[in-house]
Structure 1
Amino acid sequence: MKKLLPLILIAFIFMISCNDQGTDVNESNPFFTSYNTPFDVPPFDKITVEHFMPAFERGMAEEKEEVEKILSNPDEPTFENTIVAMDQTGLLLARVSSVFFGLSSANTSAALQQVQMDVSPKLAAHGDEINLDPRLFEKIKVVYSNRDKFNLTDEEEFILENTYLGLVRNGADLDPEKKEKLKEMNQELSVLRVKITQNVLAETNSYKLVISEKE
């Protein structure tokens, strides 16, 4: 037992250290607070690779909760409590995504590429969970079918139509079996899309033009 005590103590200290590091990353994560910068420009000097995955995960969790509140609303679906409410969900996720994919396109690295590979299937599954939810489609379908009753502006009609048709085109009106097949395809495509992009970038970076003769 005496021989085991040092090992147990080391393991305990290691666990505390890991938890503290995770807490520090979350507390210092720029995505979880106001930027406090001119024009709300992301503070790129404070954002590190370690900030992205926790921010993505919290963003997806928050959006799920926000959407669930809309779906559980017992009131008759209207433009305000459905379309406008949906437009106000996922703000943290959108905030993180815009910074991450902007950096990945303009100034990527091996670490960013790994995050992209890890998060892409999660984002695909998250999007499908929301977009293919029959409760959401039913609410939006009700609003769309009764759009003449809401005295919508031209802009609001455009948003409503785009929202409804967007869900239809993304499979919201499919039967359950086809939805599951679509989810599998979206998972596969999410990974393949990243692989193709990264392979093209690697080939581009490895290209060399060797000039051996003087003109």
Structure 2
Amino acid sequence: MTFDRRIKIAPSILSADFADFGREIRAIEDQGADWVHVDVMDGHFVPNLTFGPPAVKAFRKHVKTFMDVHLMIAPVDPFIEAYAEAGADLITAHVEAGPHIHRTLQAIRATGKKAGVALNPGTPAEAIEHVLDLADLVCVMTVNPGFGGQKFIDMTGKVRKLRQMIGDRPVHIEIDGGVDPVTAPLLVAAGADVLVAGSAVFRGGSVANPEAYGDNIRAIRQAAEGALVGA
């Protein structure tokens, strides 16, 4: 993946039809998704339980773009290799999930995958200041992790701070939680370039009506890019 700061829409398949993941993934890609976002939850670090490595390996067969795997699990280090082998292109771990985020990012990079670090709403940008040189992406949670469809928590100040801290490093700023055509331009204006959206992409559509996914993706993208034009 060549680095660039063009806006990327990464639908979260947590909002897809769980009985039809293959066709759902193909539908969102055909309708303009740039990345496919996979939320991995363990029922311990966050209050929900989702996808193990075998499920991610099954998803991989259908993903033609870029598979962005967000590990909301603790401990995280013992599972990095399994998710890498399952086919993740980028693996994101939470700074809050363990005492050694530097080691965790090293471990992700050692698998040959891109490395991301995520920050919960209550965690300041400064928590990752000393690991930015090991990161390919910083994920800013704009909801408390664990469930889709939550109300947006305004983290634009944190995003602006991170954009300043990152400087000219080739590091993406990703937003996860409550992204829609209203919040997207605020986040992009602050410095974000990867937008994870679940319910805002899948709402009103299905594999039988994928055009609705495309309409939703275009609405988010146009709103986000409008913030850049006005900058």
TM-score, with length taken from structure 2 = 0.24
TM-score, with length taken from structure 1 = 0.25
Higher helix share: 1
The higher radius of gyration belongs to 1
